[in-house]
């Protein structure tokens, strides 16, 4: 598995290209902006985009979904719970009619890779994380040393705490790839992340 991080847009949301090096098929997680940056990387590496995975529907994570669909014909996978609830700054992302709706426990296979959906509401009602092998893509649920804000429409601090608790209780360690800022590991966050520790009652 090869993981490329492309921080895109003025919010510098992390778009991840996750490739199976045997088949050169890949998934693109959260194409938030800068379709040219994303397509340049895809073309240079001769990857085939099979899936577009969305951690949540905020504009900084979804801005280039439509263009990427058009460019690649890839299937979009999204949790419908973010639906049309978002307003204002986090304006509505219209879920494409061709999208595959996903929820907790669903899996998406791309080449030899298997992504599993974990429902983690709190930052938004439809926020999800994806695991794939030893990688955990956390969107705006878990950041290095922090967690996503819960004061936007549909945000909920109690749900965020339950979601952080759920991530902390996953078995074993993971490389954590968050929606903004640097990668970290689940063990480091279990040890150092104030919000995760609070969620665990420590
Ligand atoms: Zn967000």
Distance 149 CA to ligand 1 centre (A): 8
User: Would you state the pLDDT for residue 153?
Assistant: 87
What is the distance in A from the centroid of ligand 1 to the CA of 22? 32
- pLDDT tens per residue, range 154-167: 999 999 999 999 99
CA of 180 to the centre of ligand 1 (A): 9
Q: How would you class 202 by CB atoms within 10 Å of its CB: exposed for 0-12, middle for 13-18, buried for 19 or more?
A: exposed
Per the structure block, which two tokens stand in for 86? 């978002």
Distance 58 CA to ligand 1 centre (A): 5
Contact (CB, 8 A) for 139 and 123: yes
Task: Please state the domain extents for the chain.
Answer: 2-199
The strand pair at 48-53 and 13-20 is best described as unpaired
What is the pTM assigned to this prediction? 0.95
Classify domain 2-199 at the CATH superfamily level.
Ribonuclease Z/Hydroxyacylglutathione hydrolase-like (3.60.15.10)
Element (H, E) at 159: helix 157-168
Beta bridge pairs of residue 124 = none
So what's the pLDDT on residue 172? 98
Identify which of 15, 158, 167 has the alpha carbon closest to the alpha carbon of residue 6.
Answer: 15
Going by C-alpha positions, the residue among 26, 25, 99, 86 that lies closest to residue 60 is 86
CA of 143 to the centre of ligand 1 (A): 12
Q: Which pLDDT score is estimated for 91?
A: 55
pLDDT given for residue 82 in this prediction: 85
Q: Output the CA 23–ligand 1 centroid distance in Å.
A: 31
Q: What is the phi/psi pair of residue 167, to 5°?
A: -65, -45
- pLDDT for position 161: 98
| Residues, beta carbon < 5 Å, ion ligand 1 | 58, 140
Low-confidence stretches of the chain (pLDDT beneath 70): 83-92
Distances in Å between the Cα of 177 and the Cα atoms of 8, 54, 55 are: 15, 14, 12
């Amino acid at each position: 598995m090869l993981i490329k991080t492309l921080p895109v847009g003025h919010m510098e949301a992390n778009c991840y290209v996750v490739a199976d090096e045997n088949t050169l098929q890949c998934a693109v997680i959260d194409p938030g902006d800068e379709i040219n940056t994303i397509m340049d990387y895809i073309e240079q590496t001769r990857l085939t985009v099979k899936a577009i995975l969305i951690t949540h529907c905020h504009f900084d994570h979804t801005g280039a979904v439509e263009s990427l669909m058009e460019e690649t014909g890839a299937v979009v996978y999204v949790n419908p719970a973010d639906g049309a609830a978002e307003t204002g700054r986090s304006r509505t992302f219209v879920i494409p009619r061709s999208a595959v709706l996903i929820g907790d426990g669903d899996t998406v296979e791309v080449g030899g890779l298997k992504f599993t959906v974990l429902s983690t509401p709190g930052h938004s009602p439809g926020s999800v994380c994806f695991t794939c092998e030893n990688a955990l893509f956390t969107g705006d649920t878990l950041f290095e040393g922090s967690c996503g804000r819960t004061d936007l429409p549909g945000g909920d601090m109690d749900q965020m705490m339950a979601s952080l608790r759920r991530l902390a209780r996953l078995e074993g360690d993971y490389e954590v790839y968050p929606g903004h800022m640097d990668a970290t590991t689940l063990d480091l966050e279990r040890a150092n992340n104030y919000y995760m520790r609070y969620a665990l009652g420590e």
